[in-house]
Structure 1
């Protein structure tokens, strides 16, 4: 088997709010329907669903690898109009990580890997 791509479907409690949040965070909306939208940054993308179930969302974790975690932290601090919460960058054995709970409660591990780890 040769894999070409893998993408996660992220549920949204408020579909319009979530689309706006991810665009403000830096993702481009490349496809949109009433049921699902594709959001892209560089060569990475995910699908945002117009679907919400607390059990699914509260158990969802996604890792987002970035090159500059301080830039992401500054960006998150400027997005106070969205229903998000996050913890400042924290050092781990593999790099620095920000824990971000998105508008629907989905948990992102935003990670800048140390060069020795990647």
Structure 2
């Protein structure tokens, strides 16, 4: 077996409107660490991904990012308030849902259709309140 000695994975995510997607992720707490006309490196804590100024509908609408969070319900309330402001009319959020793999998940669709899983891991055997 090949030992790649992986120490980081940074997915590439597409954007229909690059400026709008950058603003959306910044509103969610991501910071731009690098950007040019075609690429932005977005970071939150020690976690990063690349946002591309490229849109292919089938690819973007099938992209999903799993983001572990401390409180999925609080995330829902904060994202809902952001979207209720009307600032990102194409973005959506769904109420938290308990998934069989042990997480309470708030699903968020960014303005291009990328699906974020804001997942709070539940202690073994615990149900979400």
Q: Answer whether TM exceeds 0.5 for this pair.
A: yes
Which whole-Å CA distance do the structure 2 matches of 1:24 and 1:59 have between them?
22
Which whole-Å CA distance do the structure 1 matches of 2:112 and 2:81 have between them?
18
Question: Counterpart of 1:90?
Answer: 97
Q: Cα RMSD between the aligned structures?
A: 1.2
Q: TM-score, normalised by structure 1?
A: 0.93
In the alignment, is residue 116 of structure 1 matched against residue 124 of structure 2? yes
What does the per-residue CA deviation read over 1:5-46, in whole Å, with 9 as the maximum and x for residues that have no partner? 001111000000000000000101111100100110101111
1:55 to 58, 61, 65: 58
Which runs of 5 or more residues in structure 1 are unaligned?
A: none
Q: Which has the larger radius of gyration?
A: 2
Instruction: Give the number of aligned pairs.
Output: 117
